[in-house]
Amino acid sequence: MNEQEKEKRFIANVKKALDLGEENLDAGTQSKLTRIRHQALDAGEHKEPSIRRWFMLPVAGVATACAIILGVAIYLKPPGGLPPNLEDLDLLAAEENLEFYDGLEFYAWLAEAEIDVG
């Protein structure tokens, strides 16, 4: 027995149990249930669009536009990290002593000179 047959059998058993339960109800309860069932069906058919639904439409549009813009920006981002003019921002934001960086060019020149000589 496969899953579909088990499911059909289960649904048939549930329907049978509910039908038996409905037969045991008194006339007043059956009448109330029928009236409530018809009201629910009528309300579902004649339901007007709510304000919430109309409000969510522009919100969804803005969210979609933002997602597209973000995706395009990420896709078109140039490789290599920060643009050249922002690389010095790390030096300025560092809490280290800036005197160290004063002689940095000298040390770079010294390293190149030793490589050429050696």
Q: Do 30 and 37 form a contact (C-beta atoms < 8 A)?
A: no
Categorize the per-residue pLDDT at 64 as very low, low, confident or very high, splitting at 50, 70 and 90: very high
Task: Give which of 13, 10, 34, 11 is closest to 22, Cα–Cα.
Answer: 34
3-state secondary structure 87-117: CHHHHHHCCCCCHHHHCHHHHHHHHHHHHHH
- Residue 118 confidence (pLDDT): 47
- Residue 1 confidence (pLDDT): 66
Q: pLDDT tens for residues 67-84?
A: 999 999 888 876 666 555
